[in-house]
Chain A
Amino acid sequence: MRVGFVAAAAAVVICASAVLAPHAGAQQSTGQQAAPQGDAKAGQQVFQADGCWECHGTVAQGGAITGPRLAATALPFDAVLQQLRTPQNAMPPYEAAILSDGDAANIYAWLKTLPAAPAASSIPLLSN
């Protein structure tokens, strides 16, 4: 099928603000815990290999329609893990069978190393 992602994509847009929001009834970590130590370099590799980049971009900058920016996320690790295991929108679930908690921690570590997005006002083409 060549098509069909339009509706899904629209759903993502609608729910974008909730993409990584922690929610009640979490099956795994429920409290806000300190992020486990992760290997940022390994995390970058997993981010590319496991398809996270498809919706969030190769440097986690976020994609048009698909997924929000993740680079330098301010979200706690357990919220990220929660979204991976039981996503609240059209995001594909990443269960432990295909993405371990350790790999998730590595991805999180990489995301935290990324710089904050530049201000739009610092980019002439976006200073309207």
Chain B
Amino acid sequence: MSKRKDATGVGRRGFLKGAAIAGAATTLASPLTAQATPTPPKRVKVPQGVSEIQKAAETTAPASMSNLPKGAENLVSPTSGSDFMVEGFKNLGFEYLASMPGSSFRALQESFINYGKNTAPQWIECFHEEISVAMSHGYAKVEGKPMLNLVHATVGLQHASMAIYNAYADRVPIVVVTANIADATERRPGVEVDHTVQDGAVIVRDYTKWDDSPGGLQHFAESTVRAYQIATTPPMGPVLLVADSSLQENPIPEDEKLTHPKLPRFTDAQGDQNAVAEVAKMLVAAENPVILADRGQPGPNGVLNPLVQLAEVLQCSIVDIGGRMNFPTQHGLNQSDRRGAVLAQADLVVGLDMTDFWGVTHAYKDQLHRSSRPLLKPGTKTVSVTSANQFIRSNFQNFQRFTDVDLEISGDGAQTLPYLLEAVKKAMSDDKKNAFEARGKKLADARKASFKAAETEAASGWDATPISTARLCMELWNVIKDEDYSLVAATQPGGYWSHKLWKMDKSYHYLGDSGAYGVGYGAGGAIGSALGNKKHGRFSVSIMGDGELMVGPGALWTAAKYQIPILTVMHNNRFYFQEVMHLQAMANRHMRDPHTAKIGTEIADPNIDFAKMAESFGMKGFTVTDPAKLGDTLKTAAAIVKKGEPVLVDVVSQGR
């Protein structure tokens, strides 16, 4: 581990002097767009070779050091290891860096701001690491690439841990950097000792794809690129780098030739071609095939577009499980509303990037004696295409029940679909086309019927007070339907009604959930997604639970400070609502007082004034209790968002 050298002065005169700012940071190549054909290797333009700092040092006079009074050379230095680290991060094209400040990365923070000019990445100040990491999570779901995070040594990483677990379970790439001082003799007494560890990464190692604690700057440069590549290779996930504080703060040794490695062009794993051809034949031969899609790679390169193409060739049922925006909601082949019915009739089920294949294909009763039954009829063939099993850990069991599918193809869904499409076309015969068209017509009719049924369901309680969740969602839809909108986060009822009744057909129209269902993702995640949407000019909207927001309300301040446009619509039911239902179930099961479920679950008395809270953070806030006034209030709020500002509308709502 690199030593601090200011105590002895050894090597001080050998430090590089007069470092210049590196050239403008390069950015990642345009997002991959090819969907009809297999995605080409990821191409990233990254400067490489000798560090710009070192190049500059060879040609620039160290004027700032030459004029120092005697003894000052042991007090100041024009550059530091953290500059070199920043250079590496800038080369990878990070747009933003979200962080709550922490002294363990003080050199890195200063380098990002002054050496890196606080651009690409721009520093985004947050109130809690659960917010900052959730922001990165939300951003990656829009852009398909990571935002950078800095978290304070020990305390910050522990704050961040649940947010990192969410990203892990949601298979979303984030790059987290924390700090440490490995050498105990280098630690300041007191707080710095409290904030150092033997192995910092162990805190989150069970739910990160990879971590490293580099012992030198060259090592750090290589691990930075490695971390990026690992995070963005499906199954995507969080990675962690430990930037030792001594390594950050010490000047760059003159005798160390530092280089930044290039990020290789790399491809994601595709399903074995023979197996894909076999599945294509099965799909063509099946009478009632069903394709399930869940949690593939996030962002614009997911399964959405290739799945539409495949579905339209096969004219078969598609069920979107909802981990991503996988299939247009109003497409005739979207049978998500009829999941139970189509699975019961299926003779072939193909799952793409499934989180829980077993759970989707079984009915489960959460009663005193828990029980389950398969939804598939005997003999139904099952196929799973997933890269998840290429990376699996033991302790955190979010991999769910084992599913004894007939064929598992190891590969990314989005990468495999183009090959599957070509194989299906090859396996098709003309006589099949008529049968497929008839099948597709029946499915489209069923989809129309389920849409009408959802409208009827939504009408129930339309004028109720508190405001029904259906009305909340449809009044909101009326305001955003002509916008290039993005539903960046939603409570369960929000996701339920939007998928039933909204027209959603772009990858960013719905960004899924937290991944691990940890309350606390919503506020930061929504803001992060809205930040990703900002440069595209999209209208971001969230349907936010009251309990959810209260885990990280400081995210609102971040939205106001950086003028991140987003309409936050509170689904304020004044409860931890899942919990009140769980508690009710337990009281009933034990045949005890059924009136007590609200104890410890109610968020009332006093009621939280979310509009005032929003105002205190620097954004406009509204409260709505009358359903008749909801539409106009949302229109007023939407006009504020279109001016580029965040706004909150507190809707006092039904529970579900």
Chain A residues at the B interface, C-beta cutoff of 8 Å: 1-11, 13-15, 49-51, 53-55, 57-59, 61-66, 69, 71, 89-90, 92-95, 97-99, 117-120, 122-123, 125-126, 128
Known: A59-B461, A90-B367, A92-B585. A126 touches B474 (CB 8 A): yes
| B656, A66: Cβ atoms closer than 8 Å | yes
Query: In the complex, A114→B108 CA distance in Å?
Result: 64
| Minimum distance in angstroms from A20 CB to a CB of chain B | 15
| A117, B366: Cβ atoms closer than 8 Å | no
A–B Cβ pairs within 8 angstroms, 7 of them:
A4-B517, A5-B578, A6-B492, A14-B340, A54-B581, A66-B656, A128-B451
B265 at the interface (CB under 8 A from A): no
Q: Which residue of A lies closest to B337 (CB)?
A: A13
Chain B residues near A62: list those with CB within 8 A.
457, 460-461
| A123, B462: Cβ atoms closer than 8 Å | yes
B655 at the interface (CB under 8 A from A): yes
| A5, B591: Cβ atoms closer than 8 Å | no
Which of A49, A59, A63, A123 interacts with B656 by CB under 8 Å? Answer: A63
| Minimum distance in angstroms from A46 CB to a CB of chain B | 9
Query: In the complex, A81→B164 CA distance in Å?
Result: 47
| Minimum distance in angstroms from A61 CB to a CB of chain B | 3
| A90, B366: Cβ atoms closer than 8 Å | yes
Query: In the complex, A50→B585 CA distance in Å?
Result: 11
Additional A-B contacts beyond A13-B340, A125-B475 (17; CB < 8 A): A2-B578, A6-B492, A14-B363, A51-B587, A53-B655, A57-B656, A59-B461, A61-B468, A65-B496, A71-B461, A90-B367, A92-B585, A92-B587, A98-B593, A118-B459, A125-B478, A126-B474
| B461, A1: Cβ atoms closer than 8 Å | no
Known: A64-B656, A65-B492, A117-B460. A50 touches B581 (CB 8 A): no
Chain B residues at the A interface, C-beta cutoff of 8 Å: 339-340, 359, 363-367, 375, 451-452, 455-462, 464, 466, 468-470, 474-475, 477-478, 492-493, 496-497, 501, 517-519, 576-582, 584-585, 587-589, 591-595, 597, 654-656
| A119, B591: Cβ atoms closer than 8 Å | no
| B578, A89: Cβ atoms closer than 8 Å | no
Q: Which residue of A lies closest to B588 (CB)?
A: A92
Q: Which residue of A lies closest to B452 (CB)?
A: A120
Chain B residues near A95: list those with CB within 8 A.
588, 591
Interface of B is mostly: helix
Q: Which residue of A lies closest to B591 (CB)?
A: A97
| A50, B595: Cβ atoms closer than 8 Å | yes
| A98, B493: Cβ atoms closer than 8 Å | no
| Minimum distance in angstroms from A81 CB to a CB of chain B | 15
Q: Which residue of B lies closest to A49 (CB)?
A: B595
| A93, B589: Cβ atoms closer than 8 Å | yes
Known: A65-B493, A98-B592, A98-B594. A4 touches B578 (CB 8 A): yes
| B459, A123: Cβ atoms closer than 8 Å | yes
| B656, A65: Cβ atoms closer than 8 Å | yes
Query: In the complex, A41→B632 CA distance in Å?
Result: 34
| A54, B455: Cβ atoms closer than 8 Å | no
Query: In the complex, A8→B359 CA distance in Å?
Result: 11
Q: Which residue of B lies closest to A69 (CB)?
A: B460
| B458, A126: Cβ atoms closer than 8 Å | yes
| Minimum distance in angstroms from A93 CB to a CB of chain B | 6
| A64, B469: Cβ atoms closer than 8 Å | yes
| A63, B655: Cβ atoms closer than 8 Å | yes
Chain B residues near A53: list those with CB within 8 A.
655
Sorted nearest first, the 3 A-B pairs with minimum C-beta distance are: A61-B461, A63-B656, A3-B517
| A2, B579: Cβ atoms closer than 8 Å | yes
| B363, A3: Cβ atoms closer than 8 Å | no
Query: In the complex, A15→B469 CA distance in Å?
Result: 21
| A98, B591: Cβ atoms closer than 8 Å | yes
